[in-house]
């Protein structure tokens, strides 16, 4: 079956469909990871986006349920140079094309992904349309131009859970953690489990009062899709939690925390999507290779320097990658310490969160 991808600027990429059929709109972005396509496809942070992989051959080890990062894929569409028809791996449960069709995700192969990546780098991420039913290029370009895009749009409501649930309960747990689910990846929950946390996952619109009612030792603000400024309810909740419980923010959670602290965010030209972004720890001078997926960023100059310490910076473009409150047990990072996919350089941050919770417990424990 034929498929066509058209950008808002009129650029046309023709190929073949290997997923579901139909038509979808979204912001087209590129991801530079060489592996981990299943984790990328199932990352809820890609809601509202059509994801193009720069690595030319995708699908050669198949799909398995164990590596999924959410209950289903949330991205709008998937773009590759070549979809591998042969998938060989002892963990494989089904092929990539079969999985995408099963989950109603459109996908296109056979286009010049290098040309598309260069166009995005030059002009920035653009609104686009992927179709297997309409091949009128002018009509498609107009549909893309008129689509809503990401700025000012709340996409978190489309990926968060409808009601709270207990992720796990372990006998030797040391901490009770609430995860505010803005589109949390499962590997974040697994890391919390590994650090002896009993985890309760709550919807993104949960109030501070409802969170504090379960008496958590800490709150984790999760990753998620879209414009952080549009998720004002989560910002309000976070502002009410600051100073009352240790907080750890990841990706969108980092942006939400920054907004709650009085900062501002802005949209990047083409975002950071990949597993090889160098980030410098400003305290130690160490450089970590990190997994990233975000299109918005915290404005460094907007943060109140009196209270906030900048902890990490991106070595590719100098953008903010981490912050910490100077007095309160509150910190966050823009990158993904849980990886999945990507390097595990930054796993130590979960241990740091555990240390903050332990200090908080000791402070409120009678001598």
Cα-trace Rg, the chain: 20
What is the rounded distance in angstroms from the CA atom of residue 262 to the CA atom of residue 59? Answer: 43
* 227-241 confidence digits (pLDDT tens): 999 999 999 999 999
The architecture in CATH of the region 2-146 reads 3-Layer(bba) Sandwich (3.50)
Beta bridge mates, 253 = none
Would you list the domain boundaries of the chain? 2-146, 156-364
pTM of the model: 0.96
What is the rounded distance in angstroms from the CA atom of residue 202 to the CA atom of residue 252? Answer: 16
Quick one: pLDDT at residue 169? 86
Going by C-beta distance under 8 Å and a sequence separation of 6 or more, which residues neighbour residue 366? none
Would the pLDDT of 346 be above 70? Answer: yes
Q: Identify whether the C-beta of residue 22 lies closer than 8 Å to the C-beta of residue 50.
A: no
Residue 214 CB: number of other CB atoms within 10 A? 12
* 123-138 confidence digits (pLDDT tens): 999 999 999 999 999 9
* 39-87 confidence digits (pLDDT tens): 999 999 999 999 999 999 999 999 999 999 999 999 999 999 999 999 9
Assess whether the previous peptide bond of 180 is cis (omega < 30° from 0).
no
Beta bridge mates, 106 = 20, 77
Domain covering 156-364, topology: Rossmann fold (3.40.50)
Comparing C-alpha atoms, which of 129, 130, 80, 78 is closest to residue 99? 78
What is the rounded distance in angstroms from the CA atom of residue 331 to the CA atom of residue 276? Answer: 23
Would the pLDDT of 168 be above 90? Answer: no
- Compute the half-sphere exposure of residue 39: CA atoms within 13 Å on the CB side of its CA: 24
Residues known to be catalytic:
251, 336, 338
């Amino acid at each position: 079956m034929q498929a066509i991808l058209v950008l808002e600027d009129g650029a046309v990429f023709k190929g073949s469909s290997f997923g579901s059929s139909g038509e979808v709109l979204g912001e087209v972005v590129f991801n530079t990871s060489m592996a981990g396509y299943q984790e990328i496809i199932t990352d809820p942070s890609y809601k509202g986006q059509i994801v193009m992989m720069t690595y030319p051959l995708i699908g050669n080890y198949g799909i398995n349920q164990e590596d999924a990062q959410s209950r289903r894929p949330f991205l709008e569409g998937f773009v590759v140079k070549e979809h591998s028809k042969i998938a060989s791996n002892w963990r494989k449960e089904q092929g990539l094309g079969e999985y995408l069709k099963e989950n109603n995700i459109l996908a296109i192969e056979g286009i010049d992904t290098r040309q598309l990546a260069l166009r995005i780098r030059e002009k920035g991420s653009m609104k686009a349309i992927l179709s297997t039913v309409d091949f009128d290029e002018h009509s498609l370009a107009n549909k893309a131009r008129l689509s809503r895009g990401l700025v000012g749009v709340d996409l978190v409501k489309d990926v968060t859970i409808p009601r709270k649930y207990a992720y796990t309960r372990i006998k030797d747990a040391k901490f009770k953690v609430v995860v505010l689910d803005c589109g949390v990846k499962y590997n974040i929950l697994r890391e919390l489990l590994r650090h002896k946390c009993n985890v309760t996952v709550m919807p993104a619109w949960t109030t501070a009062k409802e969170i504090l009612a379960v008496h958590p030792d800490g709150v984790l603000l999760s990753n998620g899709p879209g414009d952080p400024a549009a998720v004002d309810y989560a910002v309000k909740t976070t502002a009410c939690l600051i100073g009352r419980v240790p907080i750890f923010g990841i990706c969108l959670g980092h942006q939400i925390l920054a907004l709650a602290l009085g900062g501002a965010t802005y949209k990047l030209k083409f975002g950071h999507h990949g597993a090889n972004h160098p980030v410098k720890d400003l305290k130690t001078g160490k450089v970590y290779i990190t997994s990233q997926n975000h299109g918005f960023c915290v404005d460094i100059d907007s943060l109140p320097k009196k209270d906030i310490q900048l902890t990490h910076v991106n070595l590719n473009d100098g953008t903010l990658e981490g912050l910490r409150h100077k007095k309160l047990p509150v910190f966050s990072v823009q990158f993904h310490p849980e990886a999945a996919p990507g390097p595990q350089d930054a796993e130590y941050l979960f241990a740091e969160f555990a240390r903050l919770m332990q200090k908080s417990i000791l402070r409120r424990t009678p001598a």
